[in-house]
A and B are shown apart, each in its own frame.
Chain A
Amino acid sequence: MTHARPSLRMLGLAATLLAVGTAHGATAWVADSTASRLGFTGTLAGGTFDGRFHRFEPDIVFDPADLAGSRFRVTIETGSADTQDADRDAILKGPEFFAVERWPVAVFAASRFVSLGNGRYEARGRLTLRDVTRDLAVPFGFQASTDGRTATMSGSATVRRLDFGVGQGEWRDTEWVGDEVTIRFDLLLQRK
């Protein structure tokens, strides 16, 4: 039984490696803030207009080979919303829409992922906007570079602003400001 000790030690080492491997299995990424974009498209009086959030922090741990170990936590500064018109931006950040003074951030957090095939996945998480948290499924494409050091991640999801209380009072009317808003993201990720 003298040779059993080293084997057990090897087994122990392997188990430790495996445990460490699982903990760090899904790759952690940081987004290149200049090359990444989080935008949205709303409808106004029957037409569409685009806007974007200048400041958002995607905390992303994602590995197509380890979906179970993957997770997203995207923090969005609602006060960084920009629709290229000062009047509209003021209304958007004001108490009837984002109310950025009370709720300066929106958060999307997901820890369940499914593969849709062809490099596409779906993050099933929860979006918190103002004081409302709701389930949100976000389909996206993920493409890692051949050396695995960088990756692109892009996708979109449609939310109903009124589900989150974005648009109070007269702005609950959806004839002039549509309920559905499409959120779109294009991220350039670098391995942490």
Chain B
Amino acid sequence: MAQVVDLTETHGVGHDGGDGHSGHPPTSTGINHRKMLMWLFLASDCMFFGSLIATYMIYRGRSEEMGIGPFPHELVDIPYTSVSAFVLLMSSLTMVLALSALQQGNIRNSRLWIAATALLGTVFLGGQWFEFSEFYHEGLSLHTNMYGASFFTLTGFHGFHVTIGVLWLISLLFVSLRGGLKKEDSLDLEIAGLYWHFVDIVWIVIFTLVYLIPYEEKTSEAGEHAMRLVSFGSSLLSRFF
């Protein structure tokens, strides 16, 4: 074919998108290869978490039905986990600050915020470790009942994701300390950030489903709760009408 184009335009399409350090290689969509790969991977990861969350929700309440404790309402400590959830969400803020600093060429601050993000992630993991061992001492393990099996698997799978993220950030920090993470490399950090934010968002879902939504206590208490809710609702209604 006689038709040709400038290779500077298209050759980047071939390979710079891979691991190159050029700022924005030309691609058909204008999105860098690696960035697109990360978005696609996250789409796939949604389905991973979706399958696990579905499993958890299917087995929710199964232990109560079978009468094999310890039950979630005896173990879940919402204030404690709220704090660690807050820590993880704050790490998204520091992630944004790290990227912003790097994009402005402020290497020192980018290192600071990367370190802070990794630290917050580690604090979250430490919190999870502590929570797991607390639950274990209360008698809950993978073998105890369906709650133990599905709880540890789901939150453990998430914790594994956070661990990967922390290792990634620490690696980036080392690269940065050796002078390899400059303004023009901000894409490297941005992609790690995409992953990090995704893992945070997933935690919001898990936190809601696994901790916040109250568990049936399978005693008269549950009925009382329901009655209280009904009376509260009717009093609300009576105020309007």
Q: Do A and B come from one complex?
A: no
